[in-house]
Amino acid sequence: MKKNNQITEIVESLYDIGTVTAVNEILGGFNSRSFSIEALKDGCAKTYYLRQYKFGASTGEIRFEHALISHAIKNGFTIGAGIVASTRGETFVQPANSRNMFAIFEYLDGEDKYTWDNPDLADAEFQSAGRVLAIFHNAVHDFNPGGLQRSEPPILALWPLLAEKLAGFARQKKAGKLQAYYGAHFQSVLDMIARSPFDTIAAEGLPVIPIHCDYHPGNLKWKDEQVVGIFDFDWSKMDLRLFDVAMAVIYFCSRWDDDHDGEFRSDKCGLFLGAYQQQLHKSSGLEPLTLAEQRLLSKMLDIANIYLIHWEVSTYFDTDGANDTEYLTYLKHNVRLMHWLEAHRAAVIKTIAGSFS
């Protein structure tokens, strides 16, 4: 109740959206807290979405995120949540009595149908998600960030650093089952990194655009097997378009059910990639995935998957009170997927090629 009162005070003192009548936390986020807000103004009730950014979030990253969302909407991207300005015209606020920054967005209709670890979609949903990622990329490909950017380096700059970072976490001590599992498996992750150098020369000229970087079923709203909303742009940054596509494929097309955890769903990958490519073929602006991107996609899947392993391990070790069982589940999934992708390399490459034929 104390948190609800704080949010009510923030909204009513810093925004002109009326009297707050209800505040409900939306559970499931990792980096920030989210709330739905019901407000009444001039006799009209309306629902909004409030984001409480994690402590330490930089104003530059938030400005990048908000500028990107606004640019996409101006370019006709109709299923992103618009930002509600404060009474001072700002896209986010930091109250005097809070260490956190807050932003209010228009509320997206649709169903919160999935989480990132529950991608058991219908075929039409895989295709819709592929199309929407293409539509988003096309809406933002001409975005000029100016001096704004996420502090995390682009993937080609980050990739050479991951082995040392992951080895450092293996030397840490933290009670729990994840420590033992990671200690037994981290060398196989380092070996995979050593076997997967990325040819930076081959990457020259690949499209660099704003990417979502967290495009998974849980960050989408659904209705009648179609995507009707997209949110959570906290991780967005300027990077290779190919990396965003690979991240999405890892999220959408790997299995989480007990007996098959970590297996790659080649058939669903084909649906997702085919829909992405077809959408850009019939659009003007951003070109479809090039032949160079298609050839490098298999390797980028490995990189995207290990990027998530690093996120899981770093978040677990750097976060006080991180749930040991929860993060162990995530880590096991991506380690299993790492081995599956390597063992079935030829089949993955064949699936990718078939998606674009």
Q: Quickly list DSSP for 265-311.
A: -HHHHHHHHHHHHHHHHTSSSSPPPPHHHHHHHHHHHHHHHHHHHHH
Q: How many domains does the chain have?
A: 2
**Is the pLDDT score of 348 beyond 90?**
yes
Is 336 within a domain? yes
Burial class (CB in 10 A: 0-12, 13-18, 19+), 32: middle
**Final residue of a domain: which of 106, 140, 171?**
106
- Summarize pLDDT for 176-189 with one digit per residue, the tens: 899 999 999 999 99
Is 117 within a domain? no
Q: Are residues 140 and 236 in the same domain?
A: yes
Q: Are residues 207 and 94 in the same domain?
A: no
Is 112 within a domain? no
CATH of the domain at 297: 3.90.1200.10
Predicted pLDDT at 122: 97
Residue 26's alpha-carbon distances to 15, 65, 112, 223, 282, in angstroms, are: 21, 20, 10, 19, 37
Give the rounded percent of residues in the chain with a pLDDT score beyond 70: 99
Predicted pLDDT at 177: 94
- Summarize pLDDT for 222-261 with one digit per residue, the tens: 999 999 999 999 999 999 999 999 999 999 999 999 899 9
- pTM for the whole thing? 0.95
**Is the pLDDT score of 216 beyond 80?**
yes
Give the rounded percent of residues in the chain with a pLDDT score beyond 90: 87
Q: Chain-wide mean pLDDT for the chain? A: 94
Amino acid sitting at position 266: S
Q: Are residues 210 and 67 in the same domain?
A: no
**Is the pLDDT score of 1 beyond 90?**
no
Predicted pLDDT at 199: 76
Q: Are residues 182 and 269 in the same domain?
A: yes
Which of 29-38, 73-82, 165-174, 203-212 is predicted with the least confidence, judged by mean pLDDT?
29-38
Is 351 within a domain? yes
Task: Let me know: does 202 contact 100? Beta carbons within 8 Å.
Answer: no
Structure tokens at 202: 């081959």
Q: How confident is the model at residue 353 (pLDDT cuts 50, 70, 90)?
A: very high
- Summarize pLDDT for 141-194 with one digit per residue, the tens: 999 999 898 999 999 999 999 999 999 999 998 888 999 999 999 999 999 999
Q: Are residues 66 and 202 in the same domain?
A: no
Is 135 within a domain? yes
CATH of the domain at 34: 3.30.200.20
Q: What angle do helix axes 266-281 and 241-252 make, rounded to 10 degrees? A: 140
Q: Are residues 73 and 127 in the same domain?
A: no
Q: Are residues 41 and 155 in the same domain?
A: no
Provide mean pLDDT across the span 308-331. 95
Q: Are residues 27 and 85 in the same domain?
A: yes
Q: Are residues 156 and 252 in the same domain?
A: yes
Is 333 within a domain? yes
Sheet holding 19-26, edge to edge: 19-26, 33-41, 44-52, 102-106, 83-84
**Final residue of a domain: which of 80, 106, 132?**
106
Q: Are residues 101 and 190 in the same domain?
A: no
Host domain of residue 280: 123-355
Provide mean pLDDT across the span 319-339. 96
Q: Are residues 132 and 260 in the same domain?
A: yes
Provide mean pLDDT across the span 74-90. 96
Which of 71-75, 170-174, 266-270, 307-311 is predicted with the least confidence, judged by mean pLDDT?
170-174
Structure tokens at 231: 């949110």
**Final residue of a domain: which of 106, 140, 172?**
106
Is 172 within a domain? yes
Predicted pLDDT at 255: 97
Residue 191's alpha-carbon distances to 5, 62, 173, in angstroms, are: 51, 36, 22
Entry field: residues in the chain = 357
Is 113 within a domain? no
CA angle 305–357–224, rounded 5-degree value: 65
Q: Are residues 73 and 152 in the same domain?
A: no
Provide mean pLDDT across the span 192-198. 86
